[in-house]
């Protein structure tokens, strides 16, 4: 079959963000745009002739087209085999699992994660390395540099390959192996958790509700929660994956997963609720009339890890991203294990895990995971919670209260200002960056600033430095305000304000985080001049 070399023009805007290249579908639909980025990946990763690649995505609009393009380009670029999920589907955690299990050279994952999909929505693409995790900063930078200078790409001139039935077919010199997207992942979950205990919990009438948000995790949840663990069919909602996620915003938080939230805060609420996002790597955990913040969830999983068979020997260490609350730090201190603080973005955890320094990690952005793969993992977090609930047989809220009684509570909230004009958001950040050095020692009511910085991280594995990862204002009592620009949006800029106060005496204080953080919220406004600079009275999303 003839390989065609196509002359292309370089694109200047293919800089990968926190998690790969994310753009509007219409941007990806420009002539040569997708191909340019794929060739930049292939030119940067130096895969040996005949290497195996994993390929799949969250099934959003443009997924099927992109799969065909990438298969034909992989064949023209010397790959020997591509393992592709049936229908072009692989959740992000499942892709990581398959890359590791079959020791492939790496994989390409098609997703814009929690961003909306459809012809007017977002699309995304990223390369994961042989450890199953997102490419390192060094590789990402190399891909970006290539994308700006490419003048041609290689593609096989051939019709589309069938990807809807399991089995092998041939594309030029390359084998296309269509795999069951659910099987390997399911087997891995079964090896980690106490399935009989969870099954018994559900059989005893413990009621759950899982919201797949019409995204990729639907089939995974049906197989694991319903078929293997026996949850009744009505325990699952929105399980049919749709190219536009049913018009929804597949981001499992209190704003966008409102159907689930209404059920969990309504009359006759189930005992446990959870949701995952577009590509299945994020999770939100709820109890009856109760929301568990992602930061608390991470701390709680760490504190109770030994009830799970895979972690019964304890944890090597834990890690969290800088804006995530320090709740897990307190657990690490009690367990006498190290706790690492990294920039936002899952790739930073991979190196710590590869070095055996960390077993569990997580982020405030609804991501939790462990060294079983190198991505965050939504269903894994749900199963971890169910395993704890099966062992403790207590309501979710009681488990969290008991945790706070032991470790204290890191009261936490994130305020997002979405869709700001870029220059406005950057203006707020440079105002803060220009002034934070003058804040040390200043008092705002009961809060006195201990120190401020713009977070910088040196990766222990490759000594690469990631600077300017968010401004931290740290108060003498450990409370914090963090300002940071999102790296995953595709429309304007999103400014995130992270607020955290430590409360050692939970029993006597309000559960309402916004109330408890009211003073810090005011201070954040004052320091950033947010209202004046953005004209926004309220955040778009509060979690
Ligand atoms: C991605 C990364 C996460 C990170 C998140 C932050 O999540 O994988 O590690 O926490 O972005 O997003 P932002 O830069 O908008 O705060 P995902 O689920 O979008 O792949």
Specify the ligand 1 atom closest to the Cα of 364: 10
Q: Would you state the structure tokens that stand for residue 293, as one six-digit string?
A: 């913040």
Active site residue 466: no
Same-domain check for residues 263 and 334? yes
Among 143, 162, 179, which residue terminates a domain? 179
d(C-alpha 307, C-alpha 383), whole Å: 12
Q: What are 15's two structure tokens?
A: 């800089």
What pLDDT score was predicted for residue 221?
98
Which atom number of ligand 1 is nearest to the Cα of residue 489? 15
Give the residue from 376, 391, 407 where a domain finishes. Answer: 407
Rounded distance from Cα 434 to ligand 1 centre (Å): 26
Report the relative pairing of strands 122-128 and 21-24 from DSSP bridges.
Answer: antiparallel
166 alpha carbon – ligand 1 mean position (Å)? 32
- 169: domain CATH number? 3.40.120.10
Helices 378-392 and 183-192, packing angle to 10 deg: 30
Burial class of 284 by CB neighbour count within 10 A (0 to 12, 13 to 18, 19+): buried
Residues in the chain, total: 543
Asked whether residue 135 falls in the same domain as residue 223, the answer is no
Rounded to the nearest angstrom, the distance between the alpha carbon of 366 and the centre of ligand 1 is: 9
Ligand 1 atom with minimal separation from the 347 CA: 9
Pocket test for ligand 1, best of 294, 322, 346 (most atoms within 8 A of CB): 346
CA of 183 to the centre of ligand 1 (A): 26
* Mutation to probe ligand 1, out of 137, 363, 488, 494 (largest number of atoms < 8 A from CB): 488
Measure 17 CA to ligand 1 centroid, in angstroms.
9
- Report pLDDT for 347: 86
Number of domains the chain contains: 3
CA of 194 to the centre of ligand 1 (A): 29
Contact status, residue 82 vs residue 53, Cβ threshold 8 Å: yes
Q: Given ligand 1 and candidates 345, 415, 419, 469, which is best to mutate, with the most ligand atoms within 8 Å of its CB?
A: 345
The angle subtended at Cα 345 by Cα 519 and Cα 61, nearest 5°, is 110
Residue 112 CA: which ligand 1 atom is closest? 19
| Residue whose CA is at the smallest distance from ligand 1 atom 2 | 345
pTM equals 0.94
User: How many Å lie between the centroid of ligand 1 and the Cα of residue 376?
Assistant: 10
> Which residue has tokens 């007017």?
120
Predicted local confidence at residue 473, as pLDDT? 96
Same domain (yes/no): 143, 99? yes
Pocket of ligand 1 (CB under 6 A): 18-19, 113-114, 281-282, 321, 344-346, 363, 365, 367, 486-488, 496
3 state SS of 257: coil
Q: Are residues 227 and 257 in the same domain?
A: yes
Backbone φ/ψ region at 410: left (φ over 0), alpha (ψ -120 to 50), beta: beta
One digit per residue, the tens of pLDDT, for the chain of length 543 reads: 688 888 888 898 999 887 899 999 999 999 999 999 999 999 999 999 999 999 999 999 999 999 999 999 999 999 999 999 999 999 999 999 999 999 999 999 999 999 999 999 999 999 999 999 999 888 999 999 999 999 999 999 999 999 999 999 999 999 999 999 999 999 999 999 999 999 999 999 999 999 999 999 999 999 999 999 999 999 999 999 999 999 999 999 998 999 999 999 999 999 999 999 999 999 999 999 999 999 999 999 999 999 999 999 999 999 999 999 999 999 999 999 999 999 999 989 999 999 999 999 999 999 999 999 999 999 999 999 999 999 999 999 999 999 999 999 999 999 999 999 999 999 999 999 988 888 889 999 999 999 999 999 998 877 889 999 999 999 999 899 999 999 887 788 999 999 999 988 887 677 889 999 999 999 999 999 999 999 999 999 898
Mutation choice for ligand 1 from 126, 365, 373, CB with most ligand atoms inside 8 A: 365
Same domain assignment for residues 391 and 433 = no
Q: Are 145 and 126 in contact (CB under 8 A)?
A: no
In this structure, are 413 and 403 located in the same domain?
no
Write the DSSP symbol of residue 408: -
Same domain, 24 and 130: yes
- Please give the full DSSP string across 49-104, using - where no structure is assigned: TT-EEEEEE---TTHHHHHHHHHHHHHHTT-SEEEEEEEEE--HHHHHHHHHHTT-
Which residue among 44, 96, 113, 325 is the active-site one?
113
pLDDT of residue 3: 86
Which residue segment(s) compose the domain that 416 sits in? 409-542
Nearest CA to ligand 1 atom 1: 19
**Ligand 1 atom closest to Cα of residue 278:** 18
* Residue where one domain finishes, among candidates 407, 432, 453: 407
**CA 269 – ligand 1 centroid, Å:** 30
Whether residue 388 sits in one domain with residue 479: no
The CATH number of residue 431's host domain is: 3.30.310.50
Based on the domain organization, do 168 and 239 belong to the same domain?
no
Residue nearest to atom 18 of ligand 1 (CA): 113
* One domain, residues 217 and 348: yes
Write the residue with the smallest CA distance to atom 5 of ligand 1.
345
386 and 416 part of one domain = no
- Asked whether residue 422 falls in the same domain as residue 482, the answer is yes
Please state whether beta strands 236-237 and 208-211 pair in parallel, antiparallel, or not at all (unpaired). Answer: parallel
């Amino acid at each position: 079959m003839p390989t065609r070399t196509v002359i292309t023009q370089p694109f200047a805007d293919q800089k990968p963000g926190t998690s790969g290249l994310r753009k509007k579908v219409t941007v990806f639909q420009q002539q040569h745009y997708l191909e340019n980025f794929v060739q930049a990946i292939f030119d940067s990763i130096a895969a040996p002739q005949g290497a195996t690649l994993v390929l799949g995505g969250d099934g959003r609009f443009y997924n099927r087209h992109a799969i065909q393009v990438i298969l034909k380009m992989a064949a023209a670029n010397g790959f020997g085999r591509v393992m592709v999920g049936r229908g072009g589907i692989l959740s992000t955690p499942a892709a990581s699992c398959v890359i590791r299990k079959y020791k492939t050279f790496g994989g390409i994952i098609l997703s814009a994660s929690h961003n909306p999909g459809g012809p007017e929505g977002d699309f995304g693409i990223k390369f994961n390395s042989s450890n199953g995790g997102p490419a390192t900063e060094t590789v990402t930078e190399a891909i970006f540099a290539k994308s700006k200078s490419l003048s041609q790409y290689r593609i096989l001139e051939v019709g589309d390959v069938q990807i809807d039935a399991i089995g092998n077919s041939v594309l030029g010199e390359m084998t296309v192996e269509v795999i069951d997207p659910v099987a390997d992942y399911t087997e891995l979950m079964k090896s980690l958790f106490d399935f009989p205990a969870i099954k018994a919990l559900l059989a005893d009438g413990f009621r759950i509700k899982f919201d797949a948000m019409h995204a990729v995790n639907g089939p995974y949840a049906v197989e694991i929660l319903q078929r293997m663990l026996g949850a009744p069919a009505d325990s699952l909602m929105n399980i049919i994956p749709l190219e536009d996620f049913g018009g929804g915003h597949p981001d499992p938080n209190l704003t966008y997963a409102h159907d689930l939230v209404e059920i969990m805060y309504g009359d006759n609420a189930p005992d446990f609720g959870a949701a995952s996002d577009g590509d299945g790597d994020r999770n939100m955990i709820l109890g009856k009339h109760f929301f568990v913040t992602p930061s608390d969830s991470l701390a709680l999983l760490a504190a109770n890890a030994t009830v799970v068979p895979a972690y019964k020997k304890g944890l090597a260490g834990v890690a969290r991203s800088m804006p995530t609350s320090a709740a897990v730090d307190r657990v690490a201190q009690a367990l006498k294990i190290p706790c690492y603080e990294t920039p936002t973005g899952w790739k930073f955890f991979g190196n710590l895990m590869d070095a055996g320094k960390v077993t569990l990690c997580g982020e405030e952005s609804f991501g939790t995971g462990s060294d079983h793969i190198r991505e965050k993992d939504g269903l894994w977090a749900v199963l971890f919670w169910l395993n704890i609930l099966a062992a403790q047989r207590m309501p979710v809220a009681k488990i969290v209260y008991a945790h706070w009684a032991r470790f204290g509570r890191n009261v936490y909230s994130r305020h997002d200002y979405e869709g700001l004009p870029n220059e406005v958001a950057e203006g707020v950040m440079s105002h803060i960056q220009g002034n934070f050095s003058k804040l040390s020692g200043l008092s705002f009511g009961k809060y006195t600033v201990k120190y401020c910085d713009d977070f910088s991280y040196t990766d222990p594995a490759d000594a690469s430095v990631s600077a300017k990862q968010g401004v931290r204002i740290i108060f003498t009592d450990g409370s914090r305000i963090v300002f940071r620009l999102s790296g995953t949006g595709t429309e304007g800029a999103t400014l995130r304000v992270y607020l955290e106060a430590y409360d050692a005496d939970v029993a006597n204080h309000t559960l309402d985080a916004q109330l408890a953080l009211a003073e810090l919220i005011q201070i954040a406004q004052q320091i950033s001049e947010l209202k004046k600079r953005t004209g926004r009275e309220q955040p778009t999303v509060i979690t």
